[in-house]
């Protein structure tokens, strides 16, 4: 197994569209590259819903190690805790249990040789972030944000944590579903973080289907393939 580039996609603010944008980018990149998606949002995993996968994953034993076989859809390999847990029950876990689950999911998945592994990060800046950043060799981080003061306030926390781990921030993506104007306190301009693109409201994104062609995702994925 080899993974050329591992890109974490996240924001401390919940509800900004991280999961849908991650899936859209994976779908676009998969047209030319081998892509994997790791859903690291333990409390609210959604990738299995976006990929429309309802069955449980298979487990195999290789060299006395138990491994999880990722699902493959549209040339995309995907694994999510939502496929392992009871999707109707809340994962009421404390820090060590949460970290252990994230570590198992990331280290025990039998990925093939991938060009890109996209990690759908949970909201916040807690244990899941620390586990992923300590245990995986993250090449780049992409920030997702909506254009409002609450999202920008949480973005500052995200940037601060990512910088502490010396992970290069590839840029940010606007989820401009409300057609907002740029707000005054633009942390991205102050930090000189590049804008990679913007998603506007569309039915294709609202009712996401992994087979949909989304123009904005294609434009951003072309830029990503040039930058990394």
Which domain CATH number covers 73? Answer: 3.40.50.300
Q: How many domains does the chain have?
A: 1
Domain span at 15: 3-227
Q: How confident is the model at residue 170 (pLDDT cuts 50, 70, 90)?
A: very high
| CA 180 to chain centroid | 24
Percent of the chain residues past pLDDT 70, beyond the cut: 89
Supply the pTM of this predicted model: 0.91
The edge-to-edge listing of strands for the beta sheet with 71-73 is 71-73, 76-80, 35-39, 114-120, 3-10, 140-145, 169-176, 195-200
Q: pLDDT confidence of 175, banded at 50, 70, 90?
A: very high
Q: Is the pLDDT of residue 25 over 80?
A: yes
Mind listing the pLDDT tens digit for each residue in 112-164?
A: 999 999 999 988 877 788 889 998 999 999 999 998 888 888 999 999 999 99
Report whether pLDDT(201) > 90: no
Predicted confidence (pLDDT) at residue 31 exceeds the cutoff of 80: yes
Nearest 5 degrees, angle CA 130-CA 78-CA 213?
115
Please answer whether residues 43 and 91 qualify as being in contact, where contact means their C-beta atoms are separated by less than 8 angstroms: yes
């Amino acid at each position: 197994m080899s993974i050329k580039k591992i890109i974490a996609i996240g924001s401390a603010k919940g509800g900004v569209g991280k999961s849908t944008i991650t899936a859209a980018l994976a779908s676009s990149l998969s047209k030319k590259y081998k892509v994997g998606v790791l859903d690291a949002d333990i409390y609210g995993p959604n990738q299995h819903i976006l990929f429309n996968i309802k069955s449980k994953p298979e487990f195999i034993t290789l060299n006395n190690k138990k491994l999880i076989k990722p699902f493959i859809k549209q040339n995309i390999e995907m694994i999510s805790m939502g496929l392992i847990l009871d999707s109707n029950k809340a994962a009421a876990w404390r820090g060590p249990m949460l970290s252990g689950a994230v570590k198992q999911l990331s280290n025990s998945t039998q990925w093939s040789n991938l060009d890109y592994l996209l990690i759908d990060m949970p909201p916040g800046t807690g244990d899941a972030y620390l586990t992923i950043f300590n245990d995986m060799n993250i090449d780049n981080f992409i920030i997702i944000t909506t254009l409002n003061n609450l999202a920008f306030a949480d973005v500052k926390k995200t940037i601060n944590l990512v910088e502490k781990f010396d992970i290069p921030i590839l840029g940010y993506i606007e989820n401009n579903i409300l057609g907002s104007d740029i707000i005054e306190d633009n942390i991205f301009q102050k930090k000189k973080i590049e804008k990679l693109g913007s998603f506007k409201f569309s039915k294709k994104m609202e009712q996401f289907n992994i087979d949909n062609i989304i123009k904005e995702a294609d434009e951003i994925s072309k830029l990503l393939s040039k930058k990394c």
